[in-house]
Chain A
Amino acid sequence: MASKQVRYEALVNALHADLYRYAYWLVHDKHVAEDLVQETFLRAWRALDSLKDQKAAKSWLITILRRENARRFERKQFEMSEYDEGATVDNWSTSTEQQLEDHWLREKIAKLPAEYREPLVLQVIGGFSGEEIAGMLDLNKNTVMTRLFRARNQLRDAVEQDKAIKGRYNG
């Protein structure tokens, strides 16, 4: 019992931030993301004995979280809320340049189609390889790589466009 508790706490401490961010980018809502993480860790606790490979813990948790999210949709069939600006940025007035920059990019990331965004989050935040992402999302690796390419391509295009607009204003 005690060692299970220790394992659990280690798991929470090591992975809760990544898991929360993954959840956030999945659902675009701070509170729903938090609930999802809570549910995920509760389920993880119950099934902790089945987790043999500690290295696989993160993908295991993400799989649980994705399943929880799917359940959430079965339970309440509400439309996923659109990207909510207020939820990401709390204090415009005290924002630094960097925060504004982040905010801008966040909007672009949020506007990516979900099927492109999800593998990108898994790769950038989760640090998963193409194969691992393919396994988690139940896709083949080529599809995942194509989506990753498109995700970055769209983001880069958005950046270029923005620069062009800024350029026009400046010039």
Chain B
Amino acid sequence: MDDLEFRKRLYSDPASQDQDMIDAIKQDSKRASLADELNAFDDEILTAMKVEVPENLASQLILRQSLHAHQQTKKKSRIHLAMAASVAFAVGITVNFLTASPVYLNVADYSLAHYHHEAANFEKTGDVQYSLANFNSEMNDLNVSFSDKLGKLISIDDCYFDGMDSMHLVFEGKYDNVTVFIVPKSEHLKFTQQFNDETVQGVARQYQQGGVIIMGDKKETLELWQKKIDETIEWSI
């Protein structure tokens, strides 16, 4: 190794542990003293470079990180809360949709389904004592009233007619009970004037403010019921 090369190597890394550098220093006292000088100089450089570190820098770094992490956690929990809320909302919408959304496209199908579903709940005969005023007050929500009693009442109840708040009336008929649904104006159900299946028949009439569906035994003369209702029904809006 010539002097120039030695100098270059020494200046670029005075603390070099390369074997040829160690050997070169050992073999030549001039080189050894230059190496000592350079190493001492490096110590000076190191001391000079060690500028004062701001007090508490380490604790500040730790503090800032933990505040940051804390905020992240808060943000995350907010996100989780928001996610939970979204899921709950979606579930709510879905349940609402499944229970309240129209499944049937026409009055006939739905009426038959509803009728058969509840048929077993009603007696064939009955005569609930009621006043016309009481009877009409039950209909308030539908904005409908009757000017006369329709017949012997077996049952009167609110019902959920394909997602619409409706009235479910059951009267005594000649052969079997007669069911009357009074429903609000519906956008999605198509009114069929007459319908039937194996056991029951039905008639439906659409008024401007709502509809009336009458169902009963196949032998029953539903037209009479329809006529009676037609004559006595009063829509208030």
**Chain A interface (Cβ < 8 Å from any Cβ of B):** 5, 8-9, 12-13, 16-17, 20-21, 24-25, 30, 34, 37-38, 41-42, 45, 88, 98, 101-102, 105-106, 109, 120-121, 123-125, 130, 145-146, 148-149, 152-153, 155-156, 159
Contact = CB atoms under 8 A, between A and B. Distances in A.
A5 B67 CA distance: 12
Interface string B1-22: 0000000110111100000000
Contacts of A102: 47-48
Interface string B31-67: 0000000100110111111110110011011101110
Nearest to A127: B15
A38 B41 contact: no
13 contacts: A16-B57, A16-B61, A24-B51, A41-B64, A45-B65, A101-B48, A121-B49, A125-B46, A125-B50, A145-B9, A146-B12, A152-B38, A152-B42
A12 B58 contact: yes
A9 B60 CA distance: 11
B100 interface: no
Contact of B12 (A21, A105, A148): A148
B79 interface: no
Contacts of A17: 53, 57
Given A17-B53, A45-B69, A130-B13, A124 B58 contact: no
B46 A153 contact: no
A61 to B, nearest CB: 11
Top 8 closest pairs, chain A to chain B, by CB: A105-B48, A148-B12, A149-B12, A145-B12, A149-B11, A152-B11, A102-B48, A17-B53
A40 B2 CA distance: 44
Contacts of A12: 58, 61-62, 65
Contact of B57 (A9, A20, A145): A20
A152 B12 contact: yes
A124 B11 contact: no
Interface string B58-89: 10111011101100000000000000000000
Interface residues of B, number: 29
B61 A109 contact: no
A98 B12 CA distance: 26
A76 B15 CA distance: 39
Nearest to A150: B11
Contacts of B11: 148-149, 152-153, 156
B8 A149 contact: yes
Interface of B: 8-9, 11-14, 38, 41-42, 44-51, 53-54, 57-58, 60-62, 64-66, 68-69
Nearest to B17: A129
Contact of B45 (A5, A124, A145): A124
Given A24-B51, A41-B61, A106-B48, A130 B68 contact: no
B58 A106 contact: no
B65 to A, nearest CB: 5
Given A17-B53, A155-B41, A156-B41, A123 B13 contact: yes
Contact of B53 (A20, A25, A120): A20
Given A37-B61, A155-B41, 14 more contacts: A12-B61, A12-B65, A16-B61, A21-B53, A45-B65, A45-B69, A88-B51, A101-B48, A105-B45, A121-B49, A148-B12, A149-B11, A152-B42, A155-B45
A25 B65 contact: no
A157 to B, nearest CB: 11
B49 A38 contact: no
Contacts of B61: 12, 16, 37-38, 41
B65 A8 contact: yes
Contacts of A41: 61, 64-65
Contacts of B48: 101-102, 105-106, 109
